[in-house]
Structure 1
């Protein structure tokens, strides 16, 4: 089998119905631009010699990547924001396919790992849960604001609000501070919030079941600050961590390393770059906050908190968690509490 560098490159701009291909003949240099209906794409690649097909990582890209891999082709998924830099002049399907073809030959652009159906299924549960969480927050915030118009102040936080809202409604009703029609509407709103919470709980159970059946997720879950949500999201987002040379490179891919700005031989480090998957990075950061919020800290965290801002310490711990994930999954070793914090008191 030819290596990726020896295979002809095909830039493919995918869409719902019409796909655009950009092909350059390796011998003559002739440029071919072809449009294919969605139903004809599989047939076209079935009848071709193996090639390196470059695709922008967008909706449906992982499905087509798996399809092409099964046909014997090599696939390179490219981040959309990196492809955009190679689009010349106006934006058309043909120019997009050409930009993908050019970007596929840039060695500094890291490709997006092709996800399996199981990984995509797990991430689908995460996306649904994330959407339901946003809807729940919108519902409770709206409820708090509406009740506040009648002089009733409800506490912030989902659990605190649900714990106190019924008593506040009953008291306001007795004092004739809240019209009956508003009380009935608020009760209906609370039922919708409860229904959303039930759906979220069901998704948490399904994700927990997935974690129990996956050895990598179980191994990662042993790290302080990483629970079932973060473990399942990390393993499903990153197909093969061995493509990263080090834990630092993996942390940089997640956007947890400082952004650097340099000119004239002087380099300045700013805040974290925030590149990569926003959702996975947020889970790691939230896990780091939970660890720091505990009553018992490791000696490393205590010393860091004494000299740096709280948010800097959170980012540093999230970075350490990402590096530990890389070490566990690439080296195949179980989490070691002593290596994690050799001089620490036990972390609660």
Structure 2
């Protein structure tokens, strides 16, 4: 029987908690970062449990290479086991206890390649937010000066040269120069976003799973690459229902005494992936000319946003089936199932 070690990781210090399965001896140990690899190199193979947090996937890969079994646990599943005041030792003990629960769910360890692709998505998302903020700020300045720029980045940027020309002799030159600098910053941010998208396009061409996911109506480059990089092996999920629940596009529920109430969507899991799926379903509902009978009935009988989430749920289940069973998208099967 392998010993179970609860490990609370941090930037410089790591707290360890373990109980000897034969003697019951409790070990509480504080390690420095440089002591981590030598310590676990000299131990017998063990089950090492950690919270799924910053750098946890890196340490999971390191410990697996040393022959240990690694279990990553979501933070929300560890919190109920913390007793008393919160500190590193209490967290390590809670992780040790949570890892031994028979129905505990664990987070799959990501590879370095997966994390690299997700890093590209994170950088692109930050650049898009920065570009949007700069554009809104510039639009507000022009609005205060009497020039109303249209909504939408494409049309707003297209009208900016005309807007600058209209204010040429009305405000000081230093203000015009500062506004032009901000306009150039917006263009530079767009170039950086395009460069990251070209890198994601290269990843898409190198991974056949992305090509198969692009067959699904509404699924584009960002959704396909982020799903493939986040999920890894889809067989980690037992069903499409579990995958959709992991993405947070299923309803919450609460109940007692045998009465259960269905609430809104759970919004659990990765908010970025959930946003991508919601955008996919909005695109299908708004732009696709012909819909399945199921979707037409849903759009007719239910509120728009309810139908959007329902379609996102269905897309999530389709994605899981294609990844878990290495299938291509077949519209006729989807239509008959609906």
- TM-score bucket of the superposed structures, by smaller chain: over 0.9
Question: TM-score if structure 1 supplies the norm length?
Answer: 0.93
Equivalent of residue 45 in structure 1, options 37, 40, 46: 40
Residue 135 (structure 2) aligns with: 140
Is 1:21–1:34's contact at 8 Å kept on the other side of the alignment?
yes
Residue 261 (structure 1) aligns with: 254
Is 1:298–1:341's contact at 8 Å kept on the other side of the alignment?
no
Cα distance change of structure 1 residues 42 and 342 upon mapping to structure 2, 3 Å threshold: same
Is 2:250–2:265's contact at 8 Å kept on the other side of the alignment?
yes
* 1:19 CA displacement: 0.8
C-alpha separation between the residues in 2 aligned to 1:133 and 1:80?
29
Structure 1: which 4+ aligned runs deviate by more than 6 Å? none
Alignment of 1:283-302 (within 5 A): 283-299=276-292, 300-302=294-296
Question: TM-score if structure 2 supplies the norm length?
Answer: 0.96
Is 2:17–2:26's contact at 8 Å kept on the other side of the alignment?
yes
* 1:226 CA displacement: 1.0
Alignment of 1:117-196 (within 5 A): 117-173=112-168, 176=170, 178-196=171-189
Equivalent of residue 329 in structure 2, options 330, 335, 338: 335
Whether 1:87 aligns to 2:96 is no
Whether 1:248 aligns to 2:241 is yes
Q: Which moved more, 1:101-110 or 1:86-95?
A: 101-110
C-alpha separation between the residues in 2 aligned to 1:263 and 1:154?
54
* 1:295 CA displacement: 4.7
Whether 1:233 aligns to 2:226 is yes
Is 1:54–1:100's contact at 8 Å kept on the other side of the alignment?
yes
Residue ranges of structure 2 left out of the alignment (5+ in a row) = none
CA RMSD in angstroms, aligned pairs only = 1.5
CA offsets 1:149-191 (integer angstroms, 9 cap, x no match): 21221112111110112112212336x3x43332211111010
Q: Which moved more, 1:271-280 or 1:97-106?
A: 97-106
C-alpha separation between the residues in 1 aligned to 2:190 and 2:27?
53
SS of the residue corresponding to residue 134 of structure 1 reads helix
SS of the residue corresponding to residue 136 of structure 2 reads helix
Residue 207 (structure 2) aligns with: 214
Cα distance change of structure 1 residues 311 and 91 upon mapping to structure 2, 3 Å threshold: same
Residue 299 (structure 2) aligns with: 305
Equivalent of residue 56 in structure 1, options 41, 46, 51: 51
* 1:297 CA displacement: 3.1
C-alpha separation between the residues in 1 aligned to 2:290 and 2:250?
23
Is 2:108–2:236's contact at 8 Å kept on the other side of the alignment?
no
C-alpha separation between the residues in 1 aligned to 2:24 and 2:100?
15
Whether 1:100 aligns to 2:62 is no
Count of aligned residue pairs for this structure pair? 337
SS of the residue corresponding to residue 23 of structure 1 reads strand
C-alpha separation between the residues in 2 aligned to 1:242 and 1:295?
31
C-alpha separation between the residues in 2 aligned to 1:139 and 1:110?
42
